[in-house]
Structure 1
Amino acid sequence: MIKSAIFEANLMNMSPRSILLFFTLLLYGLTASAQYTDKINSNRPGTSQGAFSVGNNVLQLEGGFGFGKEKHEILDTKSNIFRFDYSARYGLLIEQLEIRLNGTYRSDGITQTVGANRQKINQSNFEINTIGAKYLIYDPYKPKPGKKDTVPANYDSLKSWKERYRFKWKTLIPAVSAYAGANFVAKDNPFTFPGDASISPRFVVATQNNWTTTYGGDWAFVTNLIVDKITTESPTIGWILTATHTVNNKWAGFIEFQGQKSDFYSDNLLRLGGAYLFDQDLQFDANIAFNFKDTPSVFTCSFGASYRFDWHNKDEIIEQPGLEKGVKEDESEKDEEGEDEEGEDGDLDEIEGTENDSLKLDRTPFINDFEDDSFREAIEKDLDERRTEERLERERIENEKIAKKEGKKLRKEEARRLKREAKAAREAEKAAIKAEKEKQKMIDDIDAELDKMEQEQGVDDELDDIEKQLQELEKMEKEFDEEEKKEQKEEVKPKKPEKEEVEDDIDVDAEYEKYQREQEKARKEEEKRRKKEEKRRQKEEKKRKKEEEKNKKDENNDDPEE
């Protein structure tokens, strides 16, 4: 286990008669809190000490090995680290006292730069080797001396879930223990201050809070304040904060912050890890650790285990001096009368409850042999009624939980229905938008078709104009042919004989004029032919474009069908 009472509560396995005698008669003597637990509680995988001991006559061995690296930026060195941690704890004489031997053996392979060469050196020794004792000074979890551990004082508070599970400020008061020990250092140790004393003192003040919550499980918070080697030239002050959380009956996790300050070495380390409870006497653990600087930077990974040799057979009671051999007859009779008076006055309901109240056990506690049967029956009847009330209260709370669960289920169903309706509305809106877009697209397509039709109508008009021009040209050709025929007829007509005295130069002029008319006629015919050919070519080009557009339109109409 990690720290004390993390996996299981610490219950006192004592008979009701012994408990009654103990809390009735033991008013001034030294009492022992029940440090022992049914399952192992270990300081691993962290390095802090819990406030509680392992229990009287219990030997517990804790150890592990780790690997890591260190890199020093200024010295330009790199180190491969191997370390072995060990601890032996034994509960001696009383429940509060524990003697402890712990230490760390370390071996480093260092690679360093000397000039232009890289050298590797090995060094090993005990980094820590300490023996000491720890004593529990204050335990807030033990019952106060002089109060009789009878029935709980306020049964009505047990009916209220809020009263039972509300946060209690007194749980912030921690258990406190003190540790004193001695360090043993070998000469020429590379892991300690040069010229360090071979023996030096070590003091630790440890506090521990245990919290058990209904939904959050078990928590433990441990603090260590350390003063080490104060008689040497390099005293060290350290602190460790550890928080442990139980995940279930087998697994637990922890986070730990450790700091130390001295002239030789100062650092802050953070550890994370967990533990697995194999059985009530064996635990396995693992953790990683790293720091936040580069002179040097540190990273290690460790694995370990804890095992307990359990020779603890019962919880011990340290008797008040003079009462070691029991209670005298007159004192027992006096106690019997005192108990009867308390029963008649109803003072039983004014005593604070403990872990062994009648609501947790199947038998009536705190009834001794000095009471008569009638009083016993009255007490048992009263307790049975209270158990019945408690059972009914639990059933009511359970029914409220079920009703709350059903209400939550209905709210979820309503939320799902609203979500489905909102989704359907969004889909309908999207469908409407899509239909509107398709409608707009259809309108745009129709407009495009109309534009094309208008364009095609314009082409037809151009073709009609060209056709009219061709007809006009043909008409002009016909007129020209008619004029030409008339001229030819006129030339064919016989001319009157002229005077024989016509000179040769007059015949020459007539021939020249005739030649000019023929040339002009040929030119006009060629021009008409050229214009006619140009009109035909334009008409054919227009027809070809119209056919191409029509073919494209047909192809576009065929594509959606495909």
Structure 2
Amino acid sequence: MNPKSILLLVTIFLFSITVSAQYTEKINTNRPGTSQGAFSVGNNVLQFEGGFGFGKQKHKLLNTKTNVFNLDYSARYGLLIEQLEIRVNGRFRADGVKQTIGANEEKIKRSNFELNTIGAKYLIYDPYKRPKKDSINYDELKSWKARHKFKWKSLIPAVSAYLGANFVSKDNPFTAPNDDPFSPKIVIMTQNNWSTSLNGDWVLVTNFIVDKITTEDPIIGWIVTSTHTINEKWAAFGEYQGQKSDFYSDNILRLGGAYLYDKDLQFDANVAFNFKDTPSVFTVSFGASYRFDWHTKDEIIEQPGLEGGVKEDEKLKEELEGKDKDNDEREFDELEEGEGIENDSLKLEKTPFINDFEDDSLRQNIEKDLDERRTAERLERERIENEKISKKEDKKFRKEEARRLKREAKEARKAEKEAIQAEKEKQKLVDDIDAELDKMEKEQGVDQELQDIDKELKELEKMEKELELGEEKKNTKQEEKIEQKEEDVDAEYEKYEKEQEKAQKLEEKRLQKEEKKRQKEEKKRKKEEAKRKKQEKKDNNTDTDLDKELKDIDL
């Protein structure tokens, strides 16, 4: 069966049922939760609900931080009949996203309508419609226990259905990619109302949601909301919302309260958070609800078979039943005046169950007995209350003791970790010193090389001296020969060549000597640089050790 056929069947089912609805004297709002109650606002009633919220989201995998601003709105109107309501609602969202990629931080701003929906809600079944004429049990009215015992039929909820349509704009960052601009939404709602004299009023609302079923990313959701009326003005609520889809799944918990300013105006606030980190969600919201109440009277919905009017014999039967009803109401009024209902109040003129013909002594004895029983009950209540206080204080003491022991254990673990860390740092310092010593031993090879260079330089100087002596001797001899052979030109030329060769050799020796000296100076410079770095590192390690010792002394 395709989705269009399902929508057609649901529509036919909703509009083929007629039952009675419920109009409330005070405003009936869906806030501060996100669920829809089963009951409509009432015929010819226009109601506006809205709010705004601030929050933060952190995505662990994407490494993003998002500041969120939400603006919710909703308009509800009771149309034609009591159980039918049309509704327009949506949410505008604006985000500021910070994403860290490596050492760069990118900021992105985005805004759009997260949802826009229009639809109609119809009340299918109402268990709180007027009771049958013979449903009043006057025996129960006389018994406090019978009046306040649990009734299983109270578990039967009111049931409504909602059929609507979503409208999504193109390139919306808050919806699935390539999402359809139009898609259907179906919600089944249930609501239970429990009213007790001891615990106040409770309301339980559940929503089962099938959304965007014609798109590639359908959504299945559920919401459970519980509301408790603290007094006539204040109410508290808790809500759990779940959602499953390929685009986004989450479980969100909301807690908050509402204040009824008057019968047509309500203020509310709530906080919302989830239980995951892809992303984590935390939001604080504030809102209000106001209605324009043009409701005049409750409409009577005709039951099947009575659309053409009531027959004459049925009118006669209704008149007889009306008389019986009047008699029952008079009897009930008499019971309320104190003739048959238990009442422990002494503000009445006479004690219950005492008639005008009894004497005062009997009445006084019964009143005394009632006073004694009330005193005993009061003392028993005080004893139970004292026991509760004592248990609470004992529990608080045990809790504080557990916290103290936990804190001491945590401090002991922290001290142990610090001792282990100090030992590791000490071992690391010893390893660094050993490495430095090894490095110094390696540097000793440089000293040996410098010594070899010095030795070679000395040998070169010695050879130079020997050559100079030999040359001087040769020069002397040559001078002598020159004196002897002044007239020999060939000998003079030969002398000149030898002198040139000698000068060239002396120049080469001088250059070799200067190169050796330069190499020696370079080696010395490198050695001094290595020693200087080593000394600086040693000084830094010494300062670090002194700082640690001073820190240990301070601690």
Give the TM-score normalised by structure 2: 0.58
- Counterparts of residues 263-274 of structure 1 (less than 5 Å): 263-274=246-257
User: Does the Cα contact within 8 Å between 1:30 and 1:318 map onto a contact in 2?
Assistant: no
Deviates more, 1:110-119 or 1:221-230: 110-119
Q: Which residue of 1 aligns with 2:343?
A: 394
For 2:383 and 2:264, locate their aligned partners in 1 and report how far apart those are by CA, in whole Å: 52
1:407 aligns with 2:376: yes
| 1:199 aligned residue (182, 187, 200) | 182
Q: Which residue of 1 aligns with 2:24?
A: 37
Offset of 1:319 from its aligned partner? 3.5
Q: Which residue of 1 aligns with 2:164?
A: 181
For 1:410 and 1:334, locate their aligned partners in 2 and report how far apart those are by CA, in whole Å: 55
Offset of 1:318 from its aligned partner? 2.4
Offset of 1:339 from its aligned partner? 4.0
Offset of 1:214 from its aligned partner? 1.3
Q: Which residue of 2 aligns with 1:62?
A: 49
Offset of 1:36 from its aligned partner? 1.1
- Counterparts of residues 90-169 of structure 1 (less than 5 Å): 90-143=77-130, 147=132, 149=133, 153-169=136-152
User: Does the Cα contact within 8 Å between 1:32 and 1:316 map onto a contact in 2?
Assistant: no
Matched letter for residue 138 of structure 1: Y
Matched letter for residue 51 of structure 2: G
Q: Deviations over 1:110-132 (max 9, x none)?
A: 01124431111100001011111
Q: Which residue of 2 aligns with 1:278?
A: 261
Instruction: Tell me: CA distance 1:156–1:75, structure 2 relative to 1, closer, same or farther (3 Å).
Output: same
Instruction: Tell me: CA distance 1:126–1:384, structure 2 relative to 1, closer, same or farther (3 Å).
Output: closer
Q: Deviations over 1:35-88 (max 9, x none)?
A: 210100110000001111111111110000000001111111111000100001
User: Does the Cα contact within 8 Å between 2:269 and 2:285 map onto a contact in 1?
Assistant: yes
Q: RMSD between aligned alpha carbons?
A: 2.9
| 1:72 aligned residue (59, 80, 90) | 59
User: Does the Cα contact within 8 Å between 2:253 and 2:272 map onto a contact in 1?
Assistant: yes
| 1:228 aligned residue (183, 186, 211) | 211
1:171 aligns with 2:134: no
Which of 1 and 2 has higher RCO (CA within 8 Å, sep 6+)?
Answer: 1
User: Does the Cα contact within 8 Å between 1:36 and 1:54 map onto a contact in 2?
Assistant: yes
User: Does the Cα contact within 8 Å between 2:17 and 2:124 map onto a contact in 1?
Assistant: no
Q: Which residue of 2 aligns with 1:480?
A: none
Secondary structure in 1 matching 2:93 = strand
| 1:217 aligned residue (179, 184, 200) | 200
For 2:314 and 2:382, locate their aligned partners in 1 and report how far apart those are by CA, in whole Å: 70
For 2:381 and 2:61, locate their aligned partners in 1 and report how far apart those are by CA, in whole Å: 62
Instruction: Tell me: CA distance 1:228–1:390, structure 2 relative to 1, closer, same or farther (3 Å).
Output: farther
Offset of 1:207 from its aligned partner? 0.7
For 1:181 and 1:49, locate their aligned partners in 2 and report how far apart those are by CA, in whole Å: 13
User: Does the Cα contact within 8 Å between 2:52 and 2:72 map onto a contact in 1?
Assistant: yes
Larger Rg: 1
Gaps of 5+ in 1: 1-28, 349-365, 368-375, 416-562
Q: Which residue of 2 aligns with 1:352?
A: none
Matched letter for residue 59 of structure 1: L
Give the TM-score normalised by structure 1: 0.58
Matched letter for residue 136 of structure 1: L
1:255 aligns with 2:238: yes
For 2:310 and 2:382, locate their aligned partners in 1 and report how far apart those are by CA, in whole Å: 68
Aligned residues: 349
Q: Deviations over 1:423-478 (max 9, x none)?
A: xxxxxxxxxxxxxxxxxxxxxxxxxxxxxxxxxxxxxxxxxxxxxxxxxxxxxxxx
For 1:238 and 1:389, locate their aligned partners in 2 and report how far apart those are by CA, in whole Å: 53
User: Does the Cα contact within 8 Å between 1:32 and 1:317 map onto a contact in 2?
Assistant: no
Gaps of 5+ in 2: 1-15, 347-351, 353-366, 385-555
Instruction: Tell me: CA distance 1:382–1:129, structure 2 relative to 1, closer, same or farther (3 Å).
Output: closer
Q: Which residue of 1 aligns with 2:412?
A: none
Q: Deviations over 1:148-204 (max 9, x none)?
A: x36x64211111111100011111111111111111000000000000000011111
User: Does the Cα contact within 8 Å between 1:217 and 1:247 map onto a contact in 2?
Assistant: yes
1:50 aligns with 2:37: yes
User: Does the Cα contact within 8 Å between 1:217 and 1:246 map onto a contact in 2?
Assistant: yes
Secondary structure in 2 matching 1:163 = helix
User: Does the Cα contact within 8 Å between 1:62 and 1:86 map onto a contact in 2?
Assistant: yes
For 2:370 and 2:104, locate their aligned partners in 1 and report how far apart those are by CA, in whole Å: 74
For 1:380 and 1:125, locate their aligned partners in 2 and report how far apart those are by CA, in whole Å: 60
- Counterparts of residues 295-306 of structure 1 (less than 5 Å): 295-306=278-289
Instruction: Tell me: CA distance 1:249–1:391, structure 2 relative to 1, closer, same or farther (3 Å).
Output: farther
Q: Percent identity over the alignment? A: 68
For 1:381 and 1:126, locate their aligned partners in 2 and report how far apart those are by CA, in whole Å: 59
The structure with the greater share of residues assigned to helix is 2
